[in-house]
């Protein structure tokens, strides 16, 4: 009640109009954000039904990453003849602090490649994009069977389920989120270190939206793409349009992963020795050294650390 601004999807706003729970007679501003995405999702008819019920004396602002013909026609029909068209040009569509890479995979090696990339990079928080809802479900099941802390999010899930999943992801109790483009739209979570395209999207704009989840607030981010030979033409188009240098990388080997984790463990132990109070553990350490060689003890602890990860 008594709100000044209403934000909603076309379908939800139209539902409120039909139920009489929202009044439009005093609307002064109409903002259509991501108009091209609403077109792709089939919302244009709903938009027109809403616009027809608004006062003619209003200001209309339309934002769109692209301007396909249906969007131009919509603007011409419902905006004033003297409406200004403002175009913002960028030398690059992607953030410079995002490191963009790709790994060549086949259908059979895609899942194993993802697991190796995750084990090598060990991101603290990552969104993994799939093209389909079925793909999300299958990938989540496969990753959970490997021991990853991961959940999925797509349009067939209830809003309550999606909100619970997003809450866990924001709080850090969930390391990895697997999602479709539509389900992930509007997600704004701080500290996402990695975005991984398990499947390449079908258009450049979706790629830009995806990787924009990382590298925010002047932080560095990483965007990995798993690309099959059939997707090379799409990759080439993404490189050309975004003017980005997307670097080919080799899929990490088991030896690469071992060395990476060994380095990480050495850093953790060094930081603990320098910065932490570990005095209460010294009696246990002394008891172990009386029974076993110190090198054997350390090797066993490292092995346990590897198994935990």
82-127 confidence digits (pLDDT tens): 888 888 765 555 667 899 999 999 999 999 999 999 999 999 999 9
| Report field, pTM of the whole predicted structure over 0.95 | no
Task: Provide the pLDDT for residue 237.
Answer: 95
- Check pLDDT > 90 for residue 179: yes
Q: Answer whether 74's CB lies under 8 Å from 48's CB.
A: yes
Q: Answer whether 197's CB lies under 8 Å from 224's CB.
A: yes
Q: Mention every residue, 6+ apart, whose C-beta is less than 8 A from residue 195.
A: 126, 127, 128, 129, 210, 211, 213, 214, 221, 222, 223, 224
Helix then strand count (H, E) for the chain reads: 13, 9
- Check pLDDT > 90 for residue 138: yes
Domains of the chain in start order, with CATH, are 10-78 (3.40.50.300), 98-252 (3.40.50.300), 256-308 (no CATH)
225-235 confidence digits (pLDDT tens): 999 999 999 99
Q: Which helix (H) or strand (E) holds 268?
A: helix 254-275
CA atoms within 13 A on the CB side of 76: 7
Q: Mention every residue, 6+ apart, whose C-beta is less than 8 A from residue 5.
A: none
Q: How far apart are CA 30 and CA 25, in angstroms?
A: 12
25-84 confidence digits (pLDDT tens): 889 999 988 887 777 667 888 888 998 999 988 999 988 877 778 888 888 888 888 888
């Amino acid at each position: 009640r008594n709100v000044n601004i209403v934000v909603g999807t076309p379908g939800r706003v139209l539902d409120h109009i039909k139920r009489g729970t929202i009044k439009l007679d005093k609307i002064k501003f109409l903002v259509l954000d991501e108009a091209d995405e609403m077109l792709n999702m089939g919302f244009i008819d709903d938009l027109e039904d809403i616009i027809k019920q608004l006062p003619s004396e209003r200001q209309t602002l339309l934002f769109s990453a692209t301007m396909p013909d249906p969007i131009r026609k919509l603007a011409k029909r419902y905006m004033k003849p003297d409406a200004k068209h403002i175009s913002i040009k960028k030398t690059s569509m992607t953030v410079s602090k995002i490191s963009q890479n790709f790994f060549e995979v086949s259908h059979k090696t895609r899942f194993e490649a993802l697991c190796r990339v995750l084990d090598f990079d060990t991101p603290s928080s990552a969104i993994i994009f799939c093209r389909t809802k079925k793909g999300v479900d299958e990938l989540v099941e496969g990753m959970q069977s490997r021991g990853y802390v991961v959940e999925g999010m797509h349009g067939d899930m209830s809003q309550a389920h999606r909100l619970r999943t997003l809450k866990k992801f924001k709080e850090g109790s969930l390391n990895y989120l697997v999602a479709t483009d539509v389900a992930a739209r509007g997600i704004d979570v701080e500290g996402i270190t990695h975005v991984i395209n398990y499947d390449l999207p079908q258009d450049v704009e979706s790629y830009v939206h995806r990787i924009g989840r990382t590298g925010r607030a002047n932080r560095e981010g990483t965007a990995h793409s798993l690309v099959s030979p059939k997707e090379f033409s799409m990759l080439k188009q993404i490189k050309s349009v975004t003017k980005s240098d997307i670097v080919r990388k080799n899929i990490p080997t088991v030896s690469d992963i071992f060395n990476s984790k060994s380095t990480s463990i050495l850093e953790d132990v060094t930081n603990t020795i320098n910065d932490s109070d570990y005095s209460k553990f010294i009696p246990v350490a002394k008891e172990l050294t009386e029974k076993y060689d110190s090198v054997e003890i350390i090797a066993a602890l490292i092995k346990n650390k590897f198994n935990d990860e």
